[in-house]
Amino acid sequence: MSRQRSMEAILASEYVSIGELVRLTESRYSTLKFYTEEGLLPYEQAEENLTRRYKREETIARIQWIREKKAAGLSIPQIKEALQMTGGS
């Protein structure tokens, strides 16, 4: 297992891993993995390395947006639909 980057290094980085997103957003790993698999969180994946990389600022904003929609009572399918309507997917 690789060594964790410091919070300073994470905050200075344009791209972060899902584990780093967990630390930044205090979300559960399984939740972020589910959002990724549902197409709610965009990522890049280098061919030679299977690690998914997320744009830090954009993805944190997206997670916050999803949380707001969930707090308003929307289901995941409704959130996906809202995301498509705003051109975010």
Residues 6+ apart with CB under 8 A from 85: none
pLDDT tens-digit map of 29-80: 999 999 999 999 999 987 777 788 999 999 999 999 999 999 999 999 999 9
- Return the pLDDT at 60: 97
- 88 or 25: whose pLDDT is higher? 25
Q: Report DSSP state, residue 14.
A: S
Strand positions, DSSP E, 1-89: 15-16, 44-45, 52-55
- Return the pLDDT at 87: 75
- Return the pLDDT at 43: 94
Look at residue 10 and tell me whether its pLDDT is greater than 70: yes
